[in-house]
């Protein structure tokens, strides 16, 4: 069989960001509104600083206002909650992203619950998670699962009815909302996790396989159903033979998957760039709702 198609998430994300930028422009022209995204970073984690910088850059490139808020690692939960309250009340801010993970002395659930659900562009607030699970329109969809669904549809078309989908991982950020989206798309959905008895056997039934567990190259070629579409959410930094040098690998053994699947996302260049592009889309959508403007259809899959 021919090698699988490499799903170019980076390219798709560039296109999506360009579509968002166009709509930002028309929102400004027709409603006099410039969408704004506030990113809150607590502490100095170097990886988080890199992500936060690339989010700020993408926000500005889309023609939106970017507000950067840094708190020291020792900041109290109360200080963070006060900042969130100020951002909730600020009409220039349509989206609030509190970068995770937070320092251990801060209760993550409490911080996320403090964000106005209408400004929760991550889609992590229980109101948005609940709307997604209950099928109530107007939910903000978490960026990574939304991006994954876009890539699946790009390959398989919009009609996913009856497809067997397996999601590996049950986090609130990726696994659970991913499963909800696939269910809403009429897939037959299974969620596998660390206590699943035979993950390989579950994988072999899946037409759509989404791996989001954070275990480098867990999914082997012989776990994959021939012709399946494989979406690799994993971003694991592993050491190489060269001392001090690391490289990024996914949750899927990429070269093996390429021999069996019909399409596979690479790491990097697959899901990661889609997460950022969908964050831009969700921020635009929040601004549209606030202004009474039509919400882009892509934000409500
Ligand atoms: N409240 C919150 N929301 C988030 O969405 C969130 C978060 N906290 N905390 C951290 C994670 C991580 N994350 C990434 C997004 C894009 C790439 C990305 O674009 N990666 C590129 C490059 C990776 C590289 O080379 O290091 C790629 O996969 O091609 C990576 C990581 C968002 N996160
Ligand atoms: Mg698990």
Gap from CA of 205 to ligand 1 centroid (Å)? 29
The ipTM, to two decimals, is 0.96
Beta-bridge partner residues of 249:
236
For the chain, give the percent of residues with pLDDT over 70: 100
The residue with tokens 């669904």 is 149
Gap from CA of 278 to ligand 1 centroid (Å)? 12
The number of the ligand 1 atom at minimal distance from the alpha carbon of 144 is 5
CA dihedral sign, ordered 212, 273, 31, 68? positive
Question: Which band of pLDDT confidence, cut at 50, 70 and 90, is reported for residue 81?
Answer: very high
| pLDDT tens per residue, range 82-128 | 999 999 999 999 999 999 999 999 999 999 999 999 999 999 999 99
**Which pLDDT does position 133 carry in this prediction?**
97
| pLDDT tens per residue, range 11-55 | 999 999 999 999 999 999 999 999 999 999 999 999 899 999 999
**Which pLDDT does position 301 carry in this prediction?**
87
Active-site residue, 55 included: yes
170 is known to lie in a ligand binding site: yes
| pLDDT tens per residue, range 171-216 | 999 999 999 999 999 999 999 999 999 999 999 999 999 999 999 9
Residue 50: other Cβ atoms inside 10 A: 10
As a whole number of angstroms, the longest Cα–Cα distance in the chain is 58
The SS3 call for residue 291 is helix
Quick check: 1 pLDDT over 70?
no
Domains identified in the chain and CATH numbers: 35-124 (3.40.50.10860), 143-272 (3.40.50.720)
The number of the ligand 1 atom at minimal distance from the alpha carbon of 124 is 1
Beta-bridge partner residues of 214:
none
Ligand nearest to the CA of 195: 2
Taking the C-alpha atoms of residue 270 and residue 123, their distance in angstroms, rounded to an integer, is 21
């Amino acid at each position: 069989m021919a090698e699988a198609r490499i799903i170019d998430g980076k390219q798709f994300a560039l296109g999506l960001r360009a579509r968002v930028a166009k709509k930002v422009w028309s929102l400004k022209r027709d409603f006099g509104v410039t969408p704004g995204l506030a990113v809150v970073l607590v502490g100095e984690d170097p990886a988080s600083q890199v992500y936060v910088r690339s989010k700020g850059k993408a926000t500005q490139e889309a023609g939106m206002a970017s507000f950067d808020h840094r708190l020291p690692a020792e900041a109290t939960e109360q200080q963070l909650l006060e900042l969130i309250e100020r951002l909730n009340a600020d009409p220039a801010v349509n989206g609030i992203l509190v970068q995770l993970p937070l320092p251990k002395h801060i209760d993550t659930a409490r911080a996320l619950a403090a964000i106005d659900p209408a400004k929760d562009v991550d889609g992590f607030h229980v109101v948005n998670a609940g709307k997604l699970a209950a099928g109530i329109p107007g939910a903000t969809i978490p960026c990574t699962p939304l991006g994954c669904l876009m890539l699946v549809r790009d390959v398989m078309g919009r009609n996913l009815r009856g497809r067997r989908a397996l999601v590996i991982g049950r986090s609130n950020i990726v696994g659970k909302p991913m499963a909800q989206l696939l269910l809403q798309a009429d897939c037959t959905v299974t969620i596998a996790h660390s206590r699943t008895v035979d993950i390989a056997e579950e994988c072999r039934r899946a037409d759509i396989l989404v791996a989001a567990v954070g275990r480098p190259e867990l999914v082997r070629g012989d776990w994959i159903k021939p012709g399946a579409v494989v979406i690799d959410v994993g971003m694991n930094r592993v050491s190489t033979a060269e001392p001090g040098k690391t490289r990024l690998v996914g949750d899927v053994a990429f070269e093996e998957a390429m021999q069996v699947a019909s399409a596979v996302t690479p790491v990097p260049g697959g899901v990661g760039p889609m997460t950022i592009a969908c964050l831009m889309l969700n921020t635009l959508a929040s601004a549209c709702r606030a202004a009474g403007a039509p919400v882009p259809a892509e934000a409500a899959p």
